[in-house]
A and B are shown apart, each in its own frame.
Chain A
Amino acid sequence: MKDKIRAFISQQLSNDPKYSFSDDEPLISGGWVDSFDLTKLAVFIEETFGVHFADPELTEDNMDTLNQIVRNIEAKLAR
């Protein structure tokens, strides 16, 4: 799951396939993903993993690293 999201971000959002994100790398405050991209990421997650994020959840605090994103998806899947 993590690698699928990692690949999506580097191919679709950050446009730098040469660069590999670490799991705890800040994506938004690090300047790789902007707030407009978050909704695009949410659509990808919904289509790929069947997990829906409501808009208030799509914040920098909540979605800034791969680990955070995966934790949030897993928490929803476990419900």
Chain B
Amino acid sequence: MSAVPITLDAKPETLLHQVRWLLEHCADQRAVTVISGDVERSYTVGEFFHHAACYAHALDKIGAVPGDLVVLILPQEENALFGFWGGMLLGAVPSMFAYLTDKLDPARYYESVRKLVQHANARFVITDSALFEPLSAALDGLAAVISADALQPGGEPADYLMRPLPNADSTAFLQHSSGSTGLQKGVMLSHRAVINQLASYGQAIELMPDDVIVSWLPLYHDMGLIAAFIQPIMQAVHLVLMSPTAWVRAPQMLLHAITRHRGTLMWLPNFAYNFLATRIRDSALEGVDLSSMRAVINCSEPVYAESHRVFTARFAPFALRESALMTCYAMAENTFAVTSSRMHTIPKIDRVDRLRLAEERVAYVSDGDAFEIVSCGVPIIGCQVRIVDVDRQMLPERAVGEIALRSDSMLSGYHNQPEITAAALIDGWYFTGDMGYLADGELYITGRKKDLIIVGGKNIYPQDIENLLNDIPGIHPGRVVAFGVDNAELGTQDIGILAEVDDPADLEGERRAVIVRTMRARIAQSTDVSARYVDLVPLRWLIKTSSGKIARAANRDKYFEMQKSR
């Protein structure tokens, strides 16, 4: 076979038509290898869908019908993979949700699941034996809970694939738009949109049948779900998967998996370049060989040129080629990729005048005090990108404005949220809220959605954090601000938080300690990320905008200016 099955010239009608094709043509081919501790378990395409059918059978037995929303809350191992496709085989709509971690407060976590299930009107939840009882209690009367560990064998893929299949416009699955607090938006993706994305993006990265994708990315995020799960399964490309929690503890396992399996492709958020380059001891790299890697794709966080430099410097001795560096601008609302840098070419770095960028909002090329911006590449086929001003009028080349896009792989809408859908999609254009400019057809990102903080690839909405802390005794309600602080050493952002206290005595000593300790613990237990800067300020310290809102960036700048002058 010289090409992957889904291309611009060969698009199946739905993902289930593609499953049918895969079972007919490559049932014996290796689909997935799951790395769990020191053990690896591999499944062929046939075995994979056989296991998935077991979930379709279980859902079928308890009354699930096509179109029902099925939420999966499972550790990143086989059950999550099989359960997702089990739901799809039945024509139900699966959605991955983050599993409970050690750090999260269980009561808050169950409450967030309950809210999500209630709001999304999910009828079925698949989890494991550890969470079965607490989730059953939390979701009593809302949804039926199935334990993956108690699943009885039954069902074959053919049982489901012989039924009338959904049409191309029906929803294939939901991607929940990040963040573990607050109300998440469920991005509805049709079979047609997903297939268009696979065909276009496959062409952009020249995906081949003998590629091997190696990943630790979480499946509840678009990069992990699409690039490193749906894509390899549908394109019959071998996927080698590990869990994010295991990878964070031992980042070298990714590189050893590439070496063992001759990995060719991986996607990473920017922080992972720094993390891999700086947090692995030399002794742990013995035997690593990255010569098989043809693309390491930087996606989902702002790309730093410096991160690419430290990564290639550290791994060139392990046969990593600099030409393997690629970039991608992606979002769940476009299924995944919007742009991709060109294959076999190192992504362009634009050096622009820092001051004029800030003041004139135009990216002038400069040799002086230049700001480096890495290109995210060109739009993939089927996708148009425009830069618009506040009145949504098109801006010329190199002018900075909001990024708008229109494509054949866009969301059908936000699940159960028609107003939010109507506000986001206008005349077929999706307004991303991200800022950037176009130059020579390539897209450069200069800023993310208003105030969004991206920590280690994870999107954190500052208002979610602020809302968590408002009721802590001593803090003046409504006077909390959360913001992102660039961390060049880690190649990502940190979270900073300032809160006004009513009583000046709370600014020092043990009284301060009690408040700060409560704030830290609550953030860690509710969001699974830690805040790097937490401080208290006196009443009326925080700067407000003319409309009375707390100005996040202005307060961040004021705080760090003050720290510097101390």
B420 within 8 A of A: no
Q: Are A36 and B275 in contact (CB under 8 A)?
A: yes
CA distance A73 to B36 in the complex (A): 28
Q: Are B249 and A28 in contact (CB under 8 A)?
A: no
B529 within 8 A of A: yes
With both beta carbons as reference points, the residue of chain A lying nearest to B274 in the complex is identified as A36
Determine the chain B residues whose CB is within 8 A of the CB of A29 once the complex forms. Answer: 102-103, 521, 524-525
CA distance A37 to B103 in the complex (A): 14
Q: Are A56 and B250 in contact (CB under 8 A)?
A: yes
Q: Are B103 and A28 in contact (CB under 8 A)?
A: yes
Name B's A-contacting residues (CB within 8 A): 102-103, 248-252, 271, 275, 279, 281, 284, 456, 490, 508, 512-513, 516-517, 519-525, 529-535
Q: Are A31 and B524 in contact (CB under 8 A)?
A: yes
Shortest beta-carbon distance from A48 to chain B in Å: 15
Determine the chain A residues whose CB is within 8 A of the CB of B519 once the complex forms. Answer: 31
CA distance A27 to B521 in the complex (A): 9
Sample of 17 further A-B pairs with CB below 8 A, known A30-B521, A55-B250: A14-B532, A15-B532, A15-B533, A16-B534, A18-B512, A28-B530, A30-B520, A31-B523, A34-B529, A35-B248, A36-B248, A36-B275, A36-B456, A36-B490, A40-B279, A43-B279, A56-B249
Q: Which of A33, A43, A55 contacts B530 (CB 8 A)?
A: A33
Determine the chain B residues whose CB is within 8 A of the CB of A56 once the complex forms. Answer: 249-250
Q: Are B248 and A60 in contact (CB under 8 A)?
A: no
Shortest beta-carbon distance from A45 to chain B in Å: 13
A–B pairs, 6, beta carbons within 8 Å:
A18-B508, A19-B513, A26-B521, A28-B103, A40-B279, A55-B284
Determine the chain B residues whose CB is within 8 A of the CB of A43 once the complex forms. Answer: 279, 281
Determine the chain B residues whose CB is within 8 A of the CB of A38 once the complex forms. Answer: 249
Name A's B-contacting residues (CB within 8 A): 14-16, 18-20, 26, 28-40, 43, 55-56, 58-61
Q: With A16-B516, A36-B275, A61-B102 known to touch, is A31 a contact of B531 (CB < 8 Å)?
A: yes
Q: With A29-B102, A29-B524, A29-B525 known to touch, is A35 a contact of B534 (CB < 8 Å)?
A: no
With both beta carbons as reference points, the residue of chain B lying nearest to A38 in the complex is identified as B249
CA distance A43 to B281 in the complex (A): 9
Determine the chain A residues whose CB is within 8 A of the CB of B248 once the complex forms. Answer: 35-36
Shortest beta-carbon distance from B433 to chain A in Å: 27
Determine the chain B residues whose CB is within 8 A of the CB of A39 once the complex forms. Answer: 251, 279
With both beta carbons as reference points, the residue of chain A lying nearest to B520 in the complex is identified as A31
Q: With A31-B521, A31-B524 known to touch, is A60 a contact of B512 (CB < 8 Å)?
A: no
Q: Are A58 and B533 in contact (CB under 8 A)?
A: no
Q: Which one of B284, B521, B530 has the greatest number of beta carbons of chain A within 10 Å?
A: B530
CA distance A35 to B101 in the complex (A): 12
CA distance A43 to B530 in the complex (A): 20
Determine the chain A residues whose CB is within 8 A of the CB of B524 once the complex forms. Answer: 28-31, 34
Q: Are A60 and B103 in contact (CB under 8 A)?
A: yes
Shortest beta-carbon distance from B107 to chain A in Å: 14
Determine the chain A residues whose CB is within 8 A of the CB of B513 once the complex forms. Answer: 19-20
Shortest beta-carbon distance from A4 to chain B in Å: 21
With both beta carbons as reference points, the residue of chain A lying nearest to B492 in the complex is identified as A36
* Shortest beta-carbon contacts, A-B, top 5: A31-B524, A31-B520, A55-B250, A34-B530, A39-B279
CA distance A43 to B520 in the complex (A): 24
Determine the chain A residues whose CB is within 8 A of the CB of B523 once the complex forms. Answer: 31
CA distance A37 to B487 in the complex (A): 13
Q: Are A19 and B249 in contact (CB under 8 A)?
A: no
Q: Are A31 and B102 in contact (CB under 8 A)?
A: no
CA distance A23 to B513 in the complex (A): 15
With both beta carbons as reference points, the residue of chain B lying nearest to A33 in the complex is identified as B530
Determine the chain A residues whose CB is within 8 A of the CB of B252 once the complex forms. Answer: 55
Shortest beta-carbon distance from B68 to chain A in Å: 35
CA distance A18 to B309 in the complex (A): 36
Determine the chain A residues whose CB is within 8 A of the CB of B271 once the complex forms. Answer: 36
Shortest beta-carbon distance from B531 to chain A in Å: 7
Determine the chain A residues whose CB is within 8 A of the CB of B249 once the complex forms. Answer: 35, 38, 55-56, 58-59
Shortest beta-carbon distance from B96 to chain A in Å: 21
Shortest beta-carbon distance from B159 to chain A in Å: 42
Determine the chain A residues whose CB is within 8 A of the CB of B534 once the complex forms. Answer: 16
CA distance A18 to B508 in the complex (A): 8
